[in-house]
Structure 1
């Protein structure tokens, strides 16, 4: 009787521990419950739990939310906790959310993949878990429009630099303008781009913006640097309007603004004398070109079979799926077709055999594409020049890296 009672108690204890272990959430999201402002950094954390030490880096499939950007901050912090006498390893990841929509913003459930051991040793187990959905309340400052792109910060710095300084000049002159923004507790991706409107006699070339985030003694600072090149095509007086940057100070609950002044160019016309030299054609040149054409046609007819086979091999070599996707993406950028570019980007990613390491400029251009497709603004106004430039730069960097690896191979017969 006592043996049966002991076995029953032991079985109940094991079942109880199994139920407790089953209740341990492998992934949990935490957001401070308060009302946040549009454009303000909303810190959130995701905690991962495992019965053993973590191995490798966790991969988050962050959701796409209209007019919302979520970025990961810093490196994870590893700790442990005791649950019913069992030690669980905890990995805490910090994120920041920036929303341009107000009201209750819902973060849908998303997937995280990570690896861990059983205790400190043993084989590594891959695990997939769902981060639960969460909500955050976003409030729009009074007096602001729902269509305004709002920056929320208590510290904003703005400066510009001209090379050369604007003034009286001649037709065809080129001026370079650099606009730098810096804001506390705001990612550089959330800072406003410069306006693209210019007078009819001025051409504007926008360079790829430099966007970065840095942490200094716990402070999170975002920066954005835009380079604008103006070419004065026509003579006359041309005026660039003032550029006003506005932000919302959550501490003072007031708007702040800073304005870059109006710039005026007095452009003087230049005269160019073009001397037209008579074109003299000689009969001998005509005969020579005719002989060259006949020779080329004869060679083509003689080697037609080889040319067809060579053409087929070259077509197969120079038109792999990767190259086809690259051309589609660049063609979509030239046509400013955001949806075609998105489809080509997905096709190109699927053709890659290794993980992608993208530059901050490339990531910024892709996020601008995502904000255009899934944000409140129309996709018809998207310009593909920035993404095309970043994509070409990435391809060049990738080719240089491959070339360096080939040069590093040892000689076969040293």
Structure 2
């Protein structure tokens, strides 16, 4: 009889402890605007200390971004005289569509103890689903993507050479965007437009999200480089930003003004020839002869120098980002395949993996939408998550000596 009583007490305690374990999703709003970052949290509950880092299986929802924010907050509650430990994890949700949004249950896998001591137990719990009603701001039908924020600060700074401009000079345009209650991934990419005679280059944008006491602040810094290819009068275009202010319920905008420049031709001193035609001909013949005689060493040196200055991994990464920004499905798939071949150990994160699957579906799957593929989010994720490649020294020409 005593073994039966002991077994009954054991199973009763186990069932009671399991009732104290769970995961739930907490969101303080049921409606939002298109392009608005919606904060929500997942609360994990256990009858003892949490151990390790929990893993969340975030669902894949079309045109949706889910980002973890900040650090978890620990607390405890009293449930029928038993102390229950609570771990709260914060997230941001962003959707660029309108209508009813349904986030399926999110599975959380975490470890805990019963009380303050004892063995570590692993568990897997699911939250309930999350339903939201997303409304598109009025007069926004012409915008592919919408930024919804109470505050968007835009600053511009130019870097120009001293003195009058001339062909061959370079101008830099640094544009900074700062927004509250927003993620930097959703801020506007800068268009690369320039008049004929000027070539424009862009660097990878610097993006940063900060989370302080539950409030998020996003910053994006873009640097555009304008190369004046020939002399003349030019007007560098202005850039207009639009965003929806949910506080004033108005579509706000700011335009960075265009600027006019005049570039002259290089001075005659720069164009003067210190050698006559016969000297140039002899120099060319000497260079050709030297190249033919030492062609193998020269080719090896050129190849080595090219790999150090501009390695193939960097070239493939840059072309992949450029193809995504231009929304070119075939080129993006081509360069993604090359990148995988060069990085067999690279594992993309869940958000990047979602964008890659969407790209592959647009190419090989059944197309259920007439809306063209947008690679902006994939380009931003690639520039943030993929490794950079730098070569800091020349390869060693000779093998190491055998010191054994």
Q: TM-score, normalised by structure 1?
A: 0.70
1:197 aligns with 2:193: yes
CA RMSD of superposed structures (Å): 4.6
Alignment-derived partner of residue 397 in structure 2: none
Alignment-derived partner of residue 260 in structure 1: 256
- How big is each residue's C-alpha offset from its partner over 1:263-319, in whole Å with a ceiling of 9 and x where there is no partner? 1222223373455434349999999999989xx9xxxxxxxxxxxxxxxxxxxxxxx
Match of 2:373 among 375, 378, 391: 378
Kept in 2: contact 1:167–1:265 (CA 8 A): no
1:339 aligns with 2:315: no
Alignment-derived partner of residue 94 in structure 1: 90
Match of 2:225 among 205, 225, 229: 229
Unaligned runs of 5+ in 1: 297-322, 401-414
1:118 aligns with 2:114: yes
In the alignment, the residues of structure 2 paired with residue 230 and residue 282 of structure 1 have an alpha-carbon distance, to the nearest angstrom, of 33
In the alignment, the residues of structure 2 paired with residue 51 and residue 139 of structure 1 have an alpha-carbon distance, to the nearest angstrom, of 40
Alignment-derived partner of residue 365 in structure 2: none
Structure 1 residue 125, shift from structure 2 partner = 2.9
- SS of aligned partner of 2:194: coil
Structure 1 residue 252, shift from structure 2 partner = 1.0
- How big is each residue's C-alpha offset from its partner over 1:144-181, in whole Å with a ceiling of 9 and x where there is no partner? 12743211112221110101289962111100111111
- Paired residues, number: 358
Alignment-derived partner of residue 36 in structure 2: 40
Alignment-derived partner of residue 130 in structure 1: 126
In the alignment, the residues of structure 2 paired with residue 183 and residue 290 of structure 1 have an alpha-carbon distance, to the nearest angstrom, of 59
TM alignment of 1:232-251, pairs within 5 A: 232-251=228-247
Structure 1 residue 192, shift from structure 2 partner = 0.6
Match of 2:73 among 71, 77, 81: 77
Match of 1:145 among 138, 141, 146: 141
Kept in 2: contact 1:107–1:133 (CA 8 A): yes
Structure 1 residue 122, shift from structure 2 partner = 2.5
Radius of gyration: which is bigger? Answer: 1
Kept in 1: contact 2:68–2:92 (CA 8 A): yes
In the alignment, the residues of structure 2 paired with residue 328 and residue 136 of structure 1 have an alpha-carbon distance, to the nearest angstrom, of 40
Unaligned runs of 5+ in 2: 297-310, 325-330, 363-370, 394-404
In the alignment, the residues of structure 1 paired with residue 98 and residue 379 of structure 2 have an alpha-carbon distance, to the nearest angstrom, of 28
Taking structure 1 as reference, are residues 166 and 254 closer, same or farther at Cα in structure 2, changes over 3 Å only? Answer: farther
- Of 102-111 and 328-337, more deviation after overlay is shown by 328-337
Structure 1 residue 246, shift from structure 2 partner = 1.3
Kept in 2: contact 1:166–1:264 (CA 8 A): no
In the alignment, the residues of structure 2 paired with residue 73 and residue 289 of structure 1 have an alpha-carbon distance, to the nearest angstrom, of 58
- SS of aligned partner of 2:241: strand
TM alignment of 1:355-394, pairs within 5 A: 373=359, 377-379=372-374, 387=382, 391=386, 394=388
1:279 aligns with 2:277: no
- Of 154-163 and 57-66, more deviation after overlay is shown by 57-66
TM alignment of 1:314-325, pairs within 5 A: none
Kept in 2: contact 1:166–1:265 (CA 8 A): no
Kept in 1: contact 2:69–2:211 (CA 8 A): no
Structure 1 residue 53, shift from structure 2 partner = 0.7
TM alignment of 1:172-183, pairs within 5 A: 172-183=168-179
